[in-house]
Structure 1
């Protein structure tokens, strides 16, 4: 069974008597799973269908704090995080009606949730009769309640060698100016505004201005090339586009955004009414007729011409559209509801992330990703905290001390970054030369997300920051008073806030918080009924629905799902594609949200997220659609067929590998030229952050396919994963079983032989 199942009389073991680290999964998990299955058979416990399980009564052994010699668990010695979660599952109405009181509603809701159509249990409306304005909650109410002169936003930009600060009062004024500009360009409630700006304060100002008017913003990461940007413009039909003239990637290195926008607009049928350009002095853009600079359109508006009002919107009115990569090559526009998102962000800011009003929160991310939306822009400002917007990198801007300087200089309470950044810092500052220059005593908690943090990387970060050496240990106990907690957590663009983590802000007494377990994302949080469903051998890429899902035993790897109903704040649909919304997330496992991730829950109740189940490549916390890359590759005039899969990378997590079939047999020097062409095209058309490299282009005679013509990407991914683990001498024969649907089994061996030879020569650092 998964983490939530029927109440069982399991032994209450000590937390440090745990299954081996996930880094040693293969043999250890087999033994652990066999042992637990034998235990279940001896106890005559039947495996139930998940939908029939009464999850509210089950408390995993490790969530019960040992307070008696006998180890008997009761209500008093369960960690508060789990008590809160159980209450949110058994009484969601009462739990969330209490949580919504933190929001200033224009019309306060009288009920927490409703399901308008019982045949569609995935469609839940949270706080359905509530009305509010999210911008008012993020700015106006703080100005009225004594925070007018508190710093709301710090823009720390080592690449421009500048720091800008905005108080809540100053930020509200700038937002009113921008909202006035948008009204002058006929932007009304429900209209879309697309932002293509990078890590600049004006991007946050524009996001809040849209929320003020009830308009729906869509922020696009500045690294996307013209064709990817065009897809998003065509999908959301923005009335106004706001762009920066450039982005700044390093000291003296400007990347022109305006030509990319111009290229995208040439590909679009649906053009905006207006384009506004924030001119940055590092690279001023040439404006076309009818386009305006931010300075002329926004900054020049005097106070006596400002629009001071704000629109009232329903709780489930879309706050924004955020595009995430889709396996079809078409981006998925995740739609975020206003009211539920505000409630959950406020709930998590103090409880999960231990940041109180007036304290400083820094998420080292880009505004184009979900972390930037939730915990650079909205979460900290809704909470009355100070948010840091950082325009720089972990190293090179100017050196590996950048992160430590920002934490120390701005007295950061909570810090959030990706494990990739830690890998880079470990390489560049192995002996803590730069770390030792700064006092980080003000930092209470540090969180990691974006991809799974390997245990050894997390242990290094703990040692690097705190001086505590946990070499060989599986657990890290939280000290009293709580400080410098370093915890992973797990969530998605679709969810908008954490599903799993350690709620560090629930207590100042470290013994009342679950220890951090290395390699784990933590434990499920409020409203999350997390299950792990068995991966069935008979299922292949043609399978659509698992009508009879089965939960796995603790320690067994499976598909991570969330039992319906989902908590508030999670996406309500995909923009312009409700059918795809159901198909992508709810069709395969009826009654559950399919996260698309695989992992396991160990015997102590900790969740381990291990990999994606689909064809999304996660490169340094950037999720990339394989189809988007394939689309570029296949346009080369010498490529007949191609597929793109991920291969493991020690720093970036994953990088793409292009498996291609040429139209004609070619000499080596010609193939080398094709490889260079493909890499250049991918960098130009999709973006350099995809990390394309000629070493990761492999030519084959034909691709393995199903009888229905689908390329067996999963089989190729599995081959590469096995080869990367080695040892090579024992792998001359392919250990991957041929899927039942393969068209020609001989192709499997052909692909294996080619990949075997490729792996011998590939530079794994690329």
Structure 2
């Protein structure tokens, strides 16, 4: 694969966008970039063409690598048409697109002078030895985009040396996996977990990594445990949402397979509710271990370190500060350390340990303003509310910014609002995240129209069109669970949208102080719509 990249003109420092499902060639592409010193940027295959175009324009890649299609629940999901649409939209479209043709898309169309099929290149370079491009430890290894509050995704830049050190350490201490053992991370390679613990982490310590493309219930709800038995998985890393999906099915599926090698189930990416934790723990008879981290950190911030010295589990807490992290919980009002049991903002005392982001790609000023300019002391702001108890265990309470966590996937409210506002009939849109029993949070959208609609059929049709706009621009993961057409949105007298109020009303919670609201009638308007 590395030889093929070189033939296509990719070299040290060049960016390569990878838009593929959880398949072996996606990993080959990432490792090939690492081999020759190129900087890969993997984009989650569930993102729509517009989202892909935004990332193309920021990374300005020399090459884009894609599959013809993916598979989900037995259904073919074409990728190439989305790539074509993204390249048409992007200002800095790559000169070449490399296609791994799996034979899934029978209507695959190739663009002359741009598209190249991987199979002939692979055959031509079979057995080629490509020398390693040795990099200085602070050079970028990859860019991974995460949702921000401004609507423009942030390109998290990871280095080479620190990244490898942190992952090698965490594989042993956090996940208790070593040479010859098997780790099964159910994440997509397009997310941070996929980078760290589907690909680089296991390989760095000589372990086997198991990839799975598809749903945990297809072809049946026992497929994951069947794979764990077949490949002697020791450690599995998944999300609470995935377990909540499995919880709809009989526990017999959990007990059907023999799992003598299975030692740990790690769940992270969103809060883990107690019923789900007890259900999977009782069903598997294996320890369930929480942990907390972010795309930005690249490896766990809070952990229980079962590979070194397992700390007692406290339900609801991901644990204690991981090796290399010095944490403080800051009272938002006073700017000083919160007392035990007092809500505050979780921060990291610089310098950030190895493995964390080094900057935002080509935007150092945004790196500083996004993470380091919120307090009088120099602190990295995780933008998460937290409480620490007397023993130092930290409990994560949710986001402080306008980012929604849908089944472990971060979505900016701004990007959802911009997608909705692209509908010609929309005057203004406000997106919030509300609690959901399955996904943790789901997007809910409030929209004002340029012209009011009286007929119920017209309102329903418009609502469907708006939701489809969001899906077209951001992907199905961003589809609003509910969309409400209203006459006005609640704002302060200075014109700031009161998302806090919308969230409180949607969740039947106390909206708090409304003294700054410009039009109190807007509250009744929202309540009536709900």
SS of aligned partner of 2:384: strand
Alignment map for 1:16-415 (pairs within 5 Å): 178-251=1-74, 253-284=75-106, 285-290=108-113, 291-303=115-127, 306-395=128-217, 397-415=218-236
* Alignment match of 1:653 (pick from 398, 423, 440): 440
Q: Distance in 2 between matches of 1:422 and 1:637?
A: 40
Q: Distance in 2 between matches of 1:325 and 1:220?
A: 12
Q: Distance in 2 between matches of 1:289 and 1:422?
A: 45
The alpha-carbon distance between structure 1 residues 299 and 737, as it changes in their structure 2 partners (threshold 3 A), is farther
SS of aligned partner of 2:40: strand
Residue 527 of structure 1 aligns with which residue? 324
Structure 2: stretches of 5+ with no match in the other structure? none
Contact 1:719 1:736 in 2 (8 A): no
Residue 129 of structure 1 aligns with which residue? none
Contact 1:276 1:297 in 2 (8 A): no
Query: 1:556, CA displacement in angstroms?
Result: 1.5
Q: Is 1:489 aligned to 2:489, yes or no?
A: no
SS of aligned partner of 2:110: coil
Contact 1:459 1:518 in 2 (8 A): no
Deviations 1:364-384 (Å, cap 9, x if unpaired)?
A: 010000000000000000010
Query: 1:707, CA displacement in angstroms?
Result: 4.4
Deviations 1:74-119 (Å, cap 9, x if unpaired)?
A: xxxxxxxxxxxxxxxxxxxxxxxxxxxxxxxxxxxxxxxxxxxxxx
Q: Distance in 2 between matches of 1:241 and 1:355?
A: 33
Query: 1:708, CA displacement in angstroms?
Result: 4.2
* Alignment match of 1:720 (pick from 493, 499, 506): 506
Contact 1:237 1:272 in 2 (8 A): yes
Q: Distance in 2 between matches of 1:705 and 1:307?
A: 62
Alignment map for 1:457-606 (pairs within 5 Å): 457-466=276-285, 484-507=286-309, 513-536=310-333, 549-589=335-375, 590-606=377-393
Deviations 1:318-350 (Å, cap 9, x if unpaired)?
A: 000000011111010000011001001000101
Q: Distance in 1 between matches of 2:522 and 2:386?
A: 28
Task: Provide the TM-score with structure 2 as the length reference.
Answer: 0.96
Alignment map for 1:737-752 (pairs within 5 Å): 737-738=513-514, 740=516, 742=517, 744=518, 747=519, 749-752=520-523
Residue 18 of structure 1 aligns with which residue? none
Contact 1:188 1:213 in 2 (8 A): yes
Query: 1:456, CA displacement in angstroms?
Result: 2.1
Q: Distance in 1 between matches of 2:495 and 2:364?
A: 27
Q: Distance in 1 between matches of 2:343 and 2:424?
A: 42
The alpha-carbon distance between structure 1 residues 739 and 300, as it changes in their structure 2 partners (threshold 3 A), is farther
Query: 1:755, CA displacement in angstroms?
Result: 3.6
Task: Provide the TM-score with structure 1 as the length reference.
Answer: 0.67
Query: 1:635, CA displacement in angstroms?
Result: 1.8
Q: Distance in 1 between matches of 2:15 and 2:511?
A: 51
Residue 116 of structure 1 aligns with which residue? none
Contact 2:488 2:525 in 1 (8 A): no
Contact 2:360 2:367 in 1 (8 A): yes
Report which of the two structures shows the higher radius of gyration computed on alpha carbons: 1
Q: Distance in 1 between matches of 2:388 and 2:515?
A: 27
Contact 1:185 1:273 in 2 (8 A): no
Query: How much is the aligned-residue C-alpha RMSD, in angstroms?
Result: 1.5
* Alignment match of 1:688 (pick from 456, 476, 482): 476
Residue 442 of structure 1 aligns with which residue? 261
Deviations 1:179-215 (Å, cap 9, x if unpaired)?
A: 1111112211111001001111001001011011111
Deviations 1:682-706 (Å, cap 9, x if unpaired)?
A: 222211122434xx11122222234
Contact 1:265 1:271 in 2 (8 A): yes
Query: 1:361, CA displacement in angstroms?
Result: 0.6
Q: Distance in 1 between matches of 2:470 and 2:287?
A: 39
Structure 1: stretches of 5+ with no match in the other structure? 1-177, 467-483, 508-512, 537-547, 726-733, 760-766
Q: Distance in 2 between matches of 1:271 and 1:753?
A: 47
Query: 1:628, CA displacement in angstroms?
Result: 1.5
SS of aligned partner of 2:307: helix
The alpha-carbon distance between structure 1 residues 636 and 348, as it changes in their structure 2 partners (threshold 3 A), is same
Q: Distance in 1 between matches of 2:55 and 2:402?
A: 20
Q: Is 1:451 aligned to 2:266, yes or no?
A: no
Q: Distance in 2 between matches of 1:735 and 1:655?
A: 19
Contact 2:255 2:283 in 1 (8 A): no
SS of aligned partner of 1:271: coil
Alignment map for 1:589-668 (pairs within 5 Å): 589=375, 590-667=377-454, 668=456
SS of aligned partner of 1:580: helix
Query: 1:654, CA displacement in angstroms?
Result: 0.8
SS of aligned partner of 1:640: strand
Higher RCO, Cα 8 Å, sep 6+: 1
Contact 2:500 2:511 in 1 (8 A): no
Deviations 1:639-670 (Å, cap 9, x if unpaired)?
A: 11111111111101111111111122211222
The total of aligned residue pairs comes to 526
SS of aligned partner of 2:72: strand
Greater Cα shift, 215-224 or 553-562: 553-562
Contact 1:554 1:601 in 2 (8 A): yes
Contact 1:341 1:569 in 2 (8 A): yes
More helix by share: 1
Q: Distance in 1 between matches of 2:525 and 2:281?
A: 41
